[in-house]
Chain A
Amino acid sequence: MDILAGKVKMTQQSVNTAMNPTDMLDRQIRLTARDVTVHYGAKQALHGISIDIPDRAVTSFIGPSGCGKSTFLRCINRMNDTIEGAKVGGTIKLDGEDIYDADLDVVELRARIGMVFQKPNPFPKSIYDNVAYGPKIHGLARSKTDLDEIVVSSLRKAGLFEEVKDRLNEPGTGLSGGQQQRLCIARAIAVSPEVILMDEPCSALDPIATAIIEELIDELRENYTIVIVTHSMQQAARVSQRTAFFHLGNLIEEGVTEDIFTNPVNKQTQDYIMGRIG
């Protein structure tokens, strides 16, 4: 408990002082989920998840592997649609708009809700083309100069520009793991999303690369709503303002990060924090 308390203290220092975490829910709710269920064929993966996710803050989902946290994340931009046999129930609203509405265009939705994956997955194209891919397909750039501007600013926001500015035409797959992941973040930012979902973005990275990405997430929080799934409690404590704990397809507890880590209400959450559920 001492170690954890230390971690939390450290987190508190890094939390933006301009924002009082406890107030966040009062400010603006971007995403509202109610009774979300997911079935893969006959197997139920999620049992009625309800949660509110605030604007311009980092919300982290934690829990043992197979608890449904990634599944729920993939519901938010309807990536589960691409899995054969997956069925989603309940409602998820983005700014009050039901994202599972039949009239809603999933292409537009995914442009608004970007995603970064567990393993860095740059396309086998040049660094430039990787970042330009989104703007090109969505028709966001009117000219080559427009596109150049978007690419450069996205790379800058992802903190990668200085490292790659001389080799924009080299393949993105030639970068190091951490750089690849930041390239993927730049790629997501390039379509100006409102929400960025990150599915264990650091699990394939070394500690130094992880630290850089965590710093980046903290910066991005000023402009984006960020939801991050992580298997590391320390990471959740370091980067997020709110934390939700999932177990066996249920949302057990959710609240301000410090509260979850220092003063969990639920016994299961407590066990997990203490390392009794793995």
Chain B
Amino acid sequence: MNALVVAALLLVLLTLSYQIGWSRSRKLAQGGTETRLHSRPIYHGVLVALFATLPAIVVLGLWALFSDSVAHNFILSQLPASVSQLPPVEVHAAVGRVQAIANGFGVIGQPSPEETAAAGSFASFQRLSFLAVIAAAAALGAGGLFWARRRIGLRLRARTEVEIAIRIALIACSTVAILTTIGIVLSLLADAIRFFTFISPIDFFFGTTWNPRFQSAGTGSAGAYGLLPLLWGTVMISIIAMVVAVPIGLMSAIYLSQYAHERVRNVVKPIIEILAGIPTIVYGFFALVTVGPFFAAAGDAVGLDINATSALTAGVVMGIMIIPFISSLSDDIIAQVPRAMRDGSMGLGATKSETIRKVLLPAALPGVVGAVLLAVSRAIGETMIVVLAAGNSPVLRANPAEPTSTVTVSIVNQLTGDADFTSPQSLVAFALGLTLFVMTLLLNVMALYIVRKFREQYE
């Protein structure tokens, strides 16, 4: 209710100030015959509105942020001092009762006289503070309004000032991306460093056993945190994914761009791209329910022992997910090789496949390598497919037909459940995240560099 009133008042202030700025500048423009207004009335209106509403919004925002704690402290001050000695939960309950009485909901049974008294004074305090804040906001708004109105003149560069305000807003928005990166790096680093106070980095990076809950907390040891089994699982699954995705993705891109009829291309390309839009959880389910059992049955048929959830299952399904990624990137890259190269080779009597294999692909190689690196970085960061289909068995094993685990799976395992941010069991997730972030960052920087160099070559 209050929020609606405030919003309505703000809206009134906004329209009013805009209107005042607009009409005043317009009058000026009509009054003076020789001199012309520097900026159009609309900018004067916006400028006045900015000066009027921004301070008011700041005041209201501060109030919204702090009103809860102010109310809490006020009620506490009205209650007997003994209340604040109580445990926090009970203090909270006592304050809640007073608030409930004050806003008319009431409490079960008879409220105590202290409570009634506190509620009475709180209710008046609430009314007063609300009015005070509204008054302050209104005063600031009016002050801003009049000051801005007085500034209006023929030579006031209202448009320039409005544009500066817009520019500042735009710059603020564009720093969000930078802040995100800084936030990622700082939060990962801070918590990873806290993790390394429990476990030495050497044990983490070179340990071959992953068993974070190996011993219960009472026995003093936190378990084993060797990264290598996870890293190996990640690498193995990524390799399998690439073995599936690169040939299929690259060959489909080549066939569609070089051989297929335009009509076929227009139908097939969007269908393949559907694969890119499917959420990874769906792939995970597909792996778990269809692909894994299929591999297990196929293994049985030929006498091989293949686990339904294994590096193989996760890798193959991840490969399927990456096919459209590889094919659309390679398509772009092959399209960048000038047609003259193709003509040159065809004109010498090379067949189409010779032209593709011996001229187009070597020319496009750097770009394709960049695309593959980007795909690898995607594969190692992929989570849901491996959570569902890799079997969650963090043991160093070379056989892809057996269950395995990855860095991402362990992050999920360690941080779902009750994360307390103090034990090595949950902090290790950040050390793993840092490892993952650095790996993908290196791959991305490398890939983007290679692709950029490749593009420049043909520009």
Contact = CB atoms under 8 A, between A and B. Distances in A.
Instruction: Verify whether A and B have any Cβ pair under 8 Å.
Output: yes
Interface of A: 77, 79, 82, 84, 107-111, 114-115, 117, 119, 121-125, 133-134, 137-138, 184, 187-188, 191
Given A109-B349, A133-B348, 15 more contacts: A79-B343, A79-B346, A110-B346, A111-B349, A114-B347, A117-B340, A121-B340, A121-B344, A123-B341, A123-B345, A123-B363, A133-B358, A134-B350, A138-B349, A188-B348
A82 B344 contact: no
Closest 5 pairs (CB-CB, A-B): A110-B349, A115-B347, A121-B340, A111-B349, A121-B344
Which of A108, A121, A134 has the most B CB atoms < 10 Å from its CB? A121
A191 B349 contact: yes
A123 B262 CA distance: 27
B351 interface: yes
A122 B341 CA distance: 7
Nearest to B348: A134
Nearest to A115: B347
B347 A117 contact: yes
A107 B344 contact: no
Contacts of A191: 348-349
A134 B344 contact: no
Contacts of B349: 107-111, 134, 137-138, 191
Interface in B353-405: 354, 358-359, 362-363
Interface of B: 261-262, 338, 340-351, 354, 358-359, 362-363, 457
Which of A79, A124, A134 has the most B CB atoms < 10 Å from its CB? A124
B344 A111 contact: no
Nearest to A138: B349
11 contacts: A79-B347, A107-B350, A115-B343, A121-B338, A121-B340, A121-B341, A124-B341, A124-B457, A125-B362, A138-B349, A188-B347
Contacts of B350: 107, 133-134, 137
Contacts of A122: 344
B348 A121 contact: no
A191 B346 CA distance: 13
Contact of A187 (B348, B354, B457): B348
Contacts of A84: 261-262
A122 B347 CA distance: 12
Contact of B345 (A111, A114, A119, A133): A133
A138 B358 CA distance: 13
A107 B345 contact: no
A137 B358 contact: yes
A123 B342 CA distance: 9
A123 B362 CA distance: 9
Nearest to B338: A121
A124 B363 contact: yes
Nearest to B347: A115
Contacts of A124: 341, 362-363, 457
A44 B131 CA distance: 82
Contacts of A77: 347
A110 B347 contact: yes
A20 B350 CA distance: 37
A123 B343 contact: no
A96 B149 CA distance: 93
A122 B363 CA distance: 11
B350 to A, nearest CB: 5
A107 B363 CA distance: 22
Nearest to B363: A124
B347 A123 contact: no
B367 to A, nearest CB: 12
A57 B71 CA distance: 102
B362 A119 contact: no
A191 B347 CA distance: 11
Contacts of B457: 124
Contacts of A121: 338, 340-341, 343-344
Contacts of B340: 117, 119, 121
A188 B262 CA distance: 31
Contacts of A138: 349
A138 B349 CA distance: 8
A137 B348 contact: yes
A7 B338 CA distance: 37
Contacts of A188: 347-348
B429 to A, nearest CB: 46
B348 A123 contact: no
A229 to B, nearest CB: 14
Nearest to B262: A84
Contact of A123 (B261, B346, B354, B359): B359
Nearest to A119: B340
Nearest to B457: A124
Contacts of B341: 121, 123-124
A75 to B, nearest CB: 13
Contacts of A111: 348-349
Contacts of A107: 349-351
Given A121-B338, A191-B348, A137 B362 contact: no
A109 B341 CA distance: 19
Nearest to B354: A137
Contacts of B363: 123-124
A141 B209 CA distance: 58
Contacts of A115: 343, 347-348
B288 to A, nearest CB: 44
B105 to A, nearest CB: 75
A260 B348 CA distance: 32
B360 to A, nearest CB: 10
B358 A117 contact: no
Contacts of B345: 123, 133
A82 B349 CA distance: 12
A84 B257 CA distance: 12
A225 B354 CA distance: 27
Contacts of B351: 107, 137
Contacts of A187: 344, 348
B318 to A, nearest CB: 33
A146 B19 CA distance: 89
Contacts of A184: 344
A188 B348 CA distance: 6
A133 B362 CA distance: 13
A52 to B, nearest CB: 23
A228 to B, nearest CB: 15
